[in-house]
């Protein structure tokens, strides 16, 4: 899919302006020149400048192209199925991870995705479990991200 740069720039500019609007009420820290709004504001300002450049570029190219062009993959059943499966996987994780927990939810999702991508059947379950435990170890132990335990709460380690 090809999106005109002006449209992408307008979306990014709106995002930058939203960030600038949200950080305006961040408190200042007494005795310091840089407060909690400094870096988000700086990044939002840079994003706004880049967005304006994208909008300018997109408007200059508009006579030659459309605002939105779909790629050939949109007519491919396999690619469309994989795209929809990815969206469904994200929604399932959002809705089920608190109740089931990260380990159970991620194992189910990976097993389904491996099956859809035609991984050898004998490898699907061991790979899904192994990759899930590796990701859990990296995020929970290494990065200290509090992943949900869900139904495994009594056996957390």
**Which tens digits make up the pLDDT trace of 107-118?**
999 999 999 999
pLDDT number for residue 63:
61
- 49 has pLDDT over 70: yes
Task: Examine the domain organization and report whether 54 and 90 are in the same domain.
Answer: no
Q: Which of 69, 103, 123 is the last residue of a domain?
A: 69
Give the residue numbers spanning the domain of 108.
Answer: 73-155
pLDDT number for residue 69:
76
Taking residues 48-65, report their average pLDDT.
Answer: 86
DSSP single-letter state for residue 70: -
Residue 157 binned pLDDT confidence (cut-offs 50, 70, 90): low
Beta strands in 4-157 (DSSP E): 68-69
Phi and psi at 69, nearest 5°, equal -125, 130
- Write the CA distances from 28 to 18, 19, 34, 120, 148, integer angstroms: 20, 17, 8, 57, 34
Q: Which of 52, 69, 86 is the last residue of a domain?
A: 69
Task: Examine the domain organization and report whether 83 and 125 are in the same domain.
Answer: yes
Is the sign of the CA dihedral 34, 35, 38, 39 positive or negative?
Answer: positive
Distance CA 150, CA 92 (A): 14
Residue with tokens 């050939």: 72
Please give the tally of structural domains in the chain. Answer: 2
Residues 6+ apart with CB under 8 A from 68: 1, 2, 3, 4, 7
* Burial of residue 67 (number of CB atoms within 10 Å: 0-12, 13-18, 19+): exposed
Mean pLDDT, rounded, of the chain: 91
For 2-36, the pLDDT digits (tens) are 788 899 999 999 999 999 999 998 888 888 888 88
pLDDT number for residue 108:
97
Distance CA 129, CA 135 (A): 10
pLDDT number for residue 100:
97
For 73-97, the pLDDT digits (tens) are 778 889 889 989 999 999 999 999 9
pLDDT number for residue 29:
81
Task: Examine the domain organization and report whether 44 and 19 are in the same domain.
Answer: yes
Strand partners, 3: 68
Task: Examine the domain organization and report whether 49 and 96 are in the same domain.
Answer: no
Residue 65 binned pLDDT confidence (cut-offs 50, 70, 90): low
């Amino acid at each position: 899919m090809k999106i005109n740069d002006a449209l992408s720039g307008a979306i990014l500019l709106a995002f930058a302006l939203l960030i600038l609007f949200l950080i305006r009420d961040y408190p200042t820290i007494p005795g310091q020149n840089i407060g909690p709004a400094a870096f988000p504001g700086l990044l939002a300002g840079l994003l706004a400048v880049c967005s304006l450049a994208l909008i300018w570029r997109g408007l200059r190219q508009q006579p030659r192209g459309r605002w939105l062009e779909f790629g050939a993959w949109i007519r491919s059943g396999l690619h469309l199925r994989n795209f929809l499966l990815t969206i469904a996987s994200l929604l399932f994780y959002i809705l089920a991870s608190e109740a089931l927990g990260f380990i159970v939810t991620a194992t189910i999702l990976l097993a389904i995705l491996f099956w859809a991508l035609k991984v050898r059947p004998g490898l699907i379950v061991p790979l899904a479990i192994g990759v899930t435990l590796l990701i859990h170890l990296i995020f929970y132990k290494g990065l200290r991200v509090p992943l949900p335990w869900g139904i495994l709460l009594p056996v957390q380690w």
